[in-house]
C-alpha cells in the first residue's frame, strides 16, 4: 500500500545547496512528510557528486542526511542550526540510482532538538545514517537578509 505524502512547504525560494530550487549547481532536494511525520525525499545523485568511482562523495552523503534532519525540525516550525552530527557510512552509495532519504525528529529539550536520518537503496538496505543535535535559533537574531528567506 502506498503511503500518503504531503509536500513540505519551505517558504521563500533560496539558494541553499541542499534544498534551494534556485541553486543551479545544488542538489535541489524536494521533501515530503508522511502520515507518521517522517520526512521523505527520493533522490538520484548525478555523476558530478562522485567520490570513489561510481559512488557518492562522503560529504554529499552527510549533506543529504543533514538536510533531512533539518526538515524534520522545519515541519514542526522549529528553526534550528546543526550543532553536532554523527554519520555512519555503512555501504557505498551508488550514483545515478534511485535512493530514499528519510528523517525524523526524535526529542526536544528547551532549545535542543535531536533528529535522525537514513539513506537507503531501492531494496531498503540502509547505506548511511546519522543522528544530530540541533539548537533552535530566534529568527529575530538573524540578519535581516536571512530572515527574508525563511
Per-residue pLDDT tens digits for 81-120: 999 999 999 999 999 999 999 999 999 999 999 999 999 9
Q: Could you read off the pLDDT of 20-43 as tens digits, one per residue?
A: 787 888 888 899 999 999 999 999
Beta strands in 3-150 (DSSP E): 6-7, 32-33, 39-44, 80-89, 98-109, 112-120, 126-136
Would 47 be classed as within a structural domain?
yes
User: What's the burial of 129, exposed, middle or buried (CB within 10 Å: 0-12/13-18/19+)?
Assistant: middle
Would 135 be classed as within a structural domain?
yes
Would 102 be classed as within a structural domain?
yes
Rounded to the nearest integer, the mean pLDDT of the chain is 90
Would 4 be classed as within a structural domain?
no
DSSP secondary structure string for all residues of 48-76: GGBSSTTBB-HHHHHHHHHHHHHHHHHTT
CATH number at residue 71: 3.10.129.10
Would 76 be classed as within a structural domain?
yes
Would 2 be classed as within a structural domain?
no
Would 112 be classed as within a structural domain?
yes
Would 24 be classed as within a structural domain?
yes
Domain that holds residue 52: 9-149
What is the domain count for the chain? 1
Q: Could you read off the pLDDT of 110-127 as tens digits, one per residue?
A: 999 999 999 999 999 999
Amino acid at each position: 500500500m502506498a503511503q500518503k505524502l504531503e509536500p513540505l512547504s519551505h517558504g521563500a525560494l533560496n539558494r541553499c545547496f541542499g534544498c534551494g530550487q534556485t541553486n543551479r549547481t545544488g542538489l535541489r532536494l524536494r521533501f515530503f512528510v508522511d502520515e507518521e511525520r517522517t520526512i521523505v525525499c527520493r533522490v538520484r545523485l548525478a555523476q558530478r557528486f562522485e567520490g570513489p568511482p561510481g559512488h557518492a562523495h562522503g560529504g554529499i552523503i552527510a549533506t543529504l542526511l543533514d538536510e533531512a534532519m533539518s526538515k524534520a525540525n522545519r515541519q514542526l516550525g522549529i528553526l534550528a542550526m546543526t550543532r553536532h552530527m554523527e554519520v555512519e557510512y555503512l555501504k557505498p552509495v551508488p550514483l545515478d540510482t534511485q535512493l530514499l532519504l528519510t528523517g525524523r525528529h526524535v526529542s526536544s529539550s528547551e532549545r535542543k532538538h535531536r533528529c535522525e536520518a537514513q539513506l537507503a537503496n531501492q531494496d531498503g538496505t540502509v547505506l548511511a545514517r546519522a543522528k544530530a543535535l540541533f539548537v533552535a535559533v530566534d529568527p529575530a537574531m538573524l540578519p535581516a537578509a536571512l530572515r527574508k528567506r525563511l
